[in-house]
Chain A
């Protein structure tokens, strides 16, 4: 024992290991300890991150513009067609909304048209590792943002907040392995669980698990959040089915989902703080 203590070569790594395990277990179990360390560091670095991320986005935007110049005319024509189609859809939706409201009144249901109370935020930093997908946004507790709030863009679901500081929040993206969102197929209403990048889904894609064996999956089916779990409100677009397969034990099916949001170009997001009555 004495000889072991005299030999300092073992002592330093052993001490390092003990201290490391202690730090990990303390910060893992006690949120407030981690927060005390987190807030000053984030508050110091976030102004610089905000400026640099704006520079980064403008560079990326300009780089993306170059190939687009060649397809501009074609794209313009397609967009015009899309606008015409969407205007038609809009008219149809207004009609359906009115019809739905009338029918609900007839049936005695409570009016259920809500809008989200949104807080716009800018993405100021991204997780540098290749394993996790976490972003930092420039709004936090001061703006009414709390842990476990859904984050979206106009395209669809981005993720949810996992931690907040006074002026910033950490958002785990739906492509992160640790993320899990209850979802359903918009067309067939079959329920499942959408998880982040896990084999066999290719990088950047999602996997929808626990789909019933008899679920009628078609490529291109829209996947929306089901609202179960309480974090993500119902009806937010997650993505579309890119591929459908049976699990190896064949009791369930799974689908590879292409996310609706382009996470490479994620610049501005909205945090859903709650629901408010729609202005009809």
Chain B
């Protein structure tokens, strides 16, 4: 039930991202809602859950817009895993921590994405505009991260209360 709800949320966010992105476009870049969701999952539920969400998100993106399977699938799952693993011993109470981890995660994602895109000959020239795209998009992701983190946290508490914890 819990997994289904998270998968459904991820697919819903991906649909919003791919269809309403012309509204989300700010300063020539757009935030990556499903990636932020995967990162928040990694922070709250650990690296494995985060990597799974990243994997699913990347898989759907590759299928819908890619020319082969793997580019987004690998990079998004690895990024979520790194963020989840790296934040294991960090107290995530303050919003600033969520925002900082999302910023770092977005940066790692974009860097790995460009490396993989370069290795698979999908992109060669984008390094020139790396920082001009990565910094604003990471900042945008950072701004929306508290909202998504709060949503995931609430969902987690809801499932704990109604399904798992018995009094």
Q: Which residues of A contact B (CB under 8 A)?
A: 20, 23-24, 27-28, 34, 37-38, 41-42, 45, 48-49, 52-53, 55-57, 59-60, 63, 124-132, 134, 136, 162-163, 170, 177-178, 197-200, 203-204, 264-265
Task: Say yes or no: B22 contacts A126, CB within 8 Å.
Answer: yes
Beyond the given A49-B15, A53-B19, A131-B117, could you list 14 further A-B residue pairs with CB under 8 A, ordered by the A residue number? Answer: A23-B69, A23-B70, A24-B70, A24-B71, A28-B67, A125-B18, A128-B18, A130-B29, A130-B110, A130-B133, A130-B137, A132-B122, A136-B18, A203-B28
Given contacts A49-B18, A63-B23, contact A130 B30 (CB under 8 A): yes
Nearest to B27 among chain A residues (CB) is A203
B20 at the interface (CB under 8 A from A): yes
Task: Say yes or no: B69 contacts A37, CB within 8 Å.
Answer: yes
B120 at the interface (CB under 8 A from A): yes
Task: Say yes or no: B65 contacts A136, CB within 8 Å.
Answer: yes
Cα A7 to Cα B124 with chains together (Å): 37
Report how many residues on chain B are interfacial, defined by Cβ distance under 8 Å: 45
Task: Of the listed stretches B56-64, B90-98, B142-150, B152-160, name the one at the interface; the rest are far from the partner chain.
Answer: B56-64
Task: Say yes or no: A60 contacts B23, CB within 8 Å.
Answer: yes
Given contacts A37-B69, A41-B64, A125-B18, contact A131 B123 (CB under 8 A): yes
Counting from the closest, the 8 A-B pairs by CB-CB distance are A199-B128, A24-B70, A52-B19, A125-B18, A27-B68, A27-B69, A56-B20, A53-B19
Task: Say yes or no: B74 contacts A264, CB within 8 Å.
Answer: no
Cα A178 to Cα B117 with chains together (Å): 11
Cα A124 to Cα B15 with chains together (Å): 10
Specify which chain A residues have a CB less than 8 angstroms from the CB of B17 in the assembled complex.
128
A-B contact pairs, 30 of them (CB 8 A): A20-B73, A20-B74, A23-B73, A24-B71, A27-B68, A28-B67, A28-B120, A42-B63, A45-B60, A52-B20, A56-B19, A56-B21, A56-B23, A125-B18, A127-B18, A128-B18, A128-B30, A128-B32, A128-B61, A129-B61, A130-B30, A130-B32, A131-B133, A132-B122, A136-B64, A197-B129, A198-B128, A203-B129, A264-B22, A264-B25
Specify which chain A residues have a CB less than 8 angstroms from the CB of B22 in the assembled complex.
56-57, 60, 126, 264-265
Specify which chain A residues have a CB less than 8 angstroms from the CB of B133 in the assembled complex.
130-131, 203
Specify which chain B residues have a CB less than 8 angstroms from the CB of A131 in the assembled complex.
113-114, 117, 123, 126, 133
Task: Say yes or no: A42 contacts B64, CB within 8 Å.
Answer: yes
Specify which chain B residues have a CB less than 8 angstroms from the CB of A60 in the assembled complex.
22-23
Task: Say yes or no: B69 contacts A24, CB within 8 Å.
Answer: yes
Task: Say yes or no: B60 contacts A41, CB within 8 Å.
Answer: yes
Cα A28 to Cα B68 with chains together (Å): 5
Nearest to A266 among chain B residues (CB) is B22
Interface string of B79-117 (1 = CB under 8 A from A): 000000000000000000000000000000010011001
Nearest to B30 among chain A residues (CB) is A130
Specify which chain B residues have a CB less than 8 angstroms from the CB of A132 in the assembled complex.
65, 122-123
Nearest to B109 among chain A residues (CB) is A129
Q: Tell me how far the C-beta of B165 lies from the nearest C-beta in chain A, rounded to whole angstroms.
A: 31
Specify which chain A residues have a CB less than 8 angstroms from the CB of B124 in the assembled complex.
177
Specify which chain B residues have a CB less than 8 angstroms from the CB of A199 in the assembled complex.
125, 128-129
Task: Say yes or no: B23 contacts A24, CB within 8 Å.
Answer: no
Interface string of B45-67 (1 = CB under 8 A from A): 00000000000000011011101
Given contacts A125-B19, A131-B113, A197-B129, contact A162 B67 (CB under 8 A): yes
Specify which chain B residues have a CB less than 8 angstroms from the CB of A204 in the assembled complex.
28
Q: Tell me how far the C-beta of B98 lies from the nearest C-beta in chain A, rounded to whole angstroms.
A: 21
Pick from A132, A170, A203, A264 the residue with the most CB of B within 10 Å: A132
Cα A171 to Cα B125 with chains together (Å): 21
Nearest to A133 among chain B residues (CB) is B65
